[in-house]
Amino acid sequence: MKTLKINSEKDLYVAAFKLLNILGPVAGVFIIIGTVALGYVQTRPQDLPVTHLLTKGNRTFKLSVASTPEQLEKGLKFRASLNGSRGMLFNLGREIYDVPFWMYKVNFPLDIFYLKDNVVTTAVYNAQPCYKTPCPIYKGKVASQVLELVKGTANIKVGDRLNIQPLSVLPKNNISVDRGNSLRIKNNR
């Protein structure tokens, strides 16, 4: 093993300067790559699986559910669009009064429904995208869940009881939509 022999204080400064000339650009490249990668990850839309169904009239909506603080914060941000039969259900974890939602970095208009025990307490129709702050903040009177759908895709109003079911409790190959507001199980006899 070769040791570095430093004869004077000047040689120490020269060696440190040479080391910084090597490490500085390497650190700079890592900082740039890290910043770009972090920006890319933060601006990607979240891809949550469909876990619930909403039936309203003759329409069925497939819902992704946001439950963690990170999922709740990201919501539908950064998506280019949303299929008219899809939506997002936000589980707030508890009943909250004056629930604030905004459309920051959401790229398309939405209808926002605030729910308590599956009953709509507040409805915001045609909430518009917002790309720079301050954005309008939409508040629901009280909610334990918030539902976001593409604007105008569902005829939902305050006071409606919504039929939202997790996929895990629905029987497979045994579901039809009746003319009412609920799923009907077919009788195979």
List, for residues 72-102, the tens digit of each pLDDT value: 999 999 999 999 999 999 999 999 999 999 9
The pLDDT value recorded for residue 78 is: 94
The helix/strand/coil state of 63 is strand
Are residues 147 and 87 in contact, defined by beta-carbon separation less than 8 angstroms? yes
Q: How far apart are CA 48 and CA 41, in angstroms?
A: 15
pLDDT band at 48 (very low <50, low <70, confident <90, very high): very high
List, for residues 145-175, the tens digit of each pLDDT value: 999 999 999 999 999 999 999 987 655 554 4
Residue found by looking up tokens 């006899």 in the block: 189
Among 64, 62, 148, 65, smallest CA distance to 109 is for 148
Q: How far apart are CA 87 and CA 18, in angstroms?
A: 57
Radius of gyration (C-alpha) of the chain in whole angstroms: 26
More confident residue, 178 or 40: 40
Neighbours of 115 (CB within 10 A): 25
